Amino acid sequence: MTIPTFLGYAALVGLLSGAHASIWGMYKDAIHEGFAPRRFARSMIVGALCAIALQSLLRLTLDAPGNLVLLFGLAYGAERGVVEVWKTFFRDEDQSKYFIPMQFSIRGEPVTSRITRMTAGVSYVAAVSLCLLVIARLDAGAPVHVGRVVLVGFATGLIVAAGGGWKDAPKEGFDPLKFMRSPAMTVVAALVLSRFTDSSLLMAVGAIGYERAAAETYKTFFFPSRPRGKFSGKPIAHPSMLRHRRHFVLPFAAIWMAVVICGALAT
């Protein structure tokens, strides 16, 4: 296959990963905020662009099912990183509608200075990048083994858990089990992805993507009546979305099924 063909496949994979994130986000948010087509399309566009960029860099052979599974996780992790950094540090939005602030906050209080938020954002991106570079260094002259994969997954999960704890704990309290959920899930994801790549860095980024996909699937569809933490105690302003959002469940399940089938074919 030609490179343009692979980029087309990559765009589709990224579009599906973004659609997956858009659906679980909409499913719980739309009853409070309403359905916004631009917001819904945002993750799909960012996901597709991330996948194209990643494929241009990695040159994965996307006629191999395992590489499709890997790229889905990578695009998911990259899209979540881009969108969450933008929302947390660079976007200006009224925070009074949230129980848990979505902008950068200190002890649960949103930081109002945009310059301070942007500085914190740049520092955060630099810190996470440094952590990922350290993880990438684990490849230096070392063969792939279970211990290394578990270490990669656990370290990656701690990064995710620390970010979530900083945001949620001031309002919800610190829950050790909730904190350790992300490391446990990224270890599992890294072990699965180790069947498709020897790169610790790719395992780490892909594990972030699958941790987010799995955790939000669990929280959203296993407990559909429980509001997301950021809207805890807030009224349902758009009750019609309780009915309309059901139409998105089947496409969401279909995306998961496609990932599972590709994984099964690869193994």
Q: What is the pLDDT of residue 2?
A: 54
Q: Write out residues in the chain with pLDDT < 50, as ranges.
A: none
Q: What is the pLDDT of residue 231?
A: 86
Q: What is the pLDDT of residue 3?
A: 57
Q: Kindly give, in sequence order, each residue whose CB lies less than 8 Å from that of residue 108, ignoring residues fewer than 6 positions away.
A: 100, 101, 170, 171
Q: How far apart are CA 240 and CA 40, in angstroms?
A: 17
Give a three-class secondary structure readout of the chain. Answer: CCHHHHHHHHHHHHHHHHHHHHHHHHHHHHHHHCCCHHHHHHHHHHHHHHHHHHHHHHCCCCCCHHHHHHHHHHHHHHHHHHHHHHHHHHCCCCCCCCCCCCCCEECCEECCCHHHHHHHHHHHHHHHHHHHHHHHHHHCCCCCCHHHHHHHHHHHHHHHHHHHHHHHHHHHCCCHHHHHHHHHHHHHHHHHHCCCCCCHHHHHHHHHHHHHHHHHHHHHHCCCCCCCHHHCCCCCCCCCHHHHHHHHHHHHHHHHHHHHHHHHHHC
Q: What is the pLDDT of residue 129?
A: 96
- The domain spans of the chain are 3-266
